[in-house]
Amino acid sequence: RVKQINEVWLQAAKDYWNWYYSYQQNQLIREGVALADRRFQATARRAQIGDQAPIDSVEAQITVQDRLFQGEQLVVELQNARLVLSNHLWNKDGQPVELPTYAAPQIPVRDTVSRAEYQRLAEQAAANHPTLLKLSAKNVQLGIEERYRREMLKPKINVSGTLITQGNFYQSEVPSYYGFGMDNHKVAVDFAFPLFLRAERGKLQYARIQLKENQLERQQSQRTIGTQVNSVYNTLKAYERQLALQAQTIVNQRILLRAELAKFELGESTIFLINARESKLIDLRIKQESLRASYEKSRAELYYYAGTRSANAE
């Protein structure tokens, strides 16, 4: 049951971060459309007064149309992500509800997983993982079955005793000393032992094989769980380094864009170069949001593989 709850929680977490990423993509493209449209309007006015070549306004308009096209695709992706996330939403009466269109995700706070936290999760996974607990309980059950089958190999001895009385039918013909008394009794002893024990030995061997198989399965599961926790932790650390590098890259790209805009005002640049710098910045910011979503999904996987749902869950 705990494992099933953890699986539902993990899927809900992944669906949330997929919605988060779709929402951020949509917001960034809408921001890019607004910037491109503002630049197109300014270029068109300058072209009308002869201060700029008309071809520049055509190029600026193409950029607006291209980003509008991307925006339409992302709107559909956002709607689908919102519907998938709604599968996990219920009201207090147990009725399914849909996520409203005006809902917006919170910006995640960078909460890195420390080495100490990783060690705690690894120890918890080795001791209290639901899969290991289930296999341990099964191991106890199979141990009882193995002991029972071992007992079946022993001889059977049944002891029975009966008090004897004359009965009412012959009461007039039988002397009274044959009546009910502690001296009148019958004791029987039954002893049984199979000659070949083939069936019992076969069942005992099968029980031992099942017990050994379950022990090996638990050992393998414990090793697999430890590997999964370690692998996801390594992935998290890689995402942390990538996010730091991506943030610095975005800072540098903003500097390039501002420099290109300044050159454009001086007549030393073109709309094409500005659009290229701006599109690159948007792509980098979308990539940053993708890394954030992937980081959070991996963090959820780390707690799932450790057999828990959060840092405070037992």
Q: Where are the domains of the chain?
A: 2-145+198-305, 156-192
> How many other CB atoms are there within 10 angstroms of residue 271's CB atom?
22
pLDDT tens for residues 228-274? 899 999 999 999 999 999 999 999 999 999 998 898 888 787 878 88
Q: What is the DSSP string of the chain?
A: -HHHHHHHHHHHHHHHHHHHHHHHHHHHHHHHHHHHHHHHHHHHHHHHTTSS-HHHHHHHHHHHHHHHHHHHHHHHHHHHHHHHHHTT-B-TTS-B----TT--PPPPP-----HHHHHHHHHHHHHH-HHHHHHHHHHHHHHHHHHHHHHTTSPEEEEEEEE---TTTTTTTS-GGGSS-TT-EEEEEEEE--SS-HHHHHHHHHHHHHHHHHHHHHHHHHHHHHHHHHHHHHHHHHHHHHHHHHHHHHHHHHHHHHHHHHHHHTTSS-HHHHHHHHHHHHHHHHHHHHHHHHHHHHHHHHHHHTT-SSTT--
Q: What is the pLDDT of residues 281-299, one digit of tens each?
A: 999 999 999 999 999 999 9
Ranking 1-5, 30-34, 235-239 by mean pLDDT, the lowest is 1-5
Contacts of 103 (CB under 8 A, 6+ apart): 82
**Per-residue pLDDT reduced to its tens digit, 108-138:** 777 788 888 888 888 888 888 888 888 888 8
**What is the CATH architecture assignment of 2-145+198-305?**
Up-down Bundle (1.20)
| % pLDDT > 70, the chain | 91
CA 190 – CA 224 distance, rounded (Å): 53
Per-residue model confidence (pLDDT) at position 163: 64
pLDDT at 231: 92
pLDDT-derived band at 177 (thresholds 50, 70, 90) equals: low
Judge whether residue 314 has pLDDT over 50. Answer: no
Q: What is the per-residue pLDDT across 60-111, written as a single tens digit (0 to 9) for each?
A: 888 889 889 989 999 999 999 999 998 888 888 888 888 888 888 888 777 7
pLDDT for res 184? 64
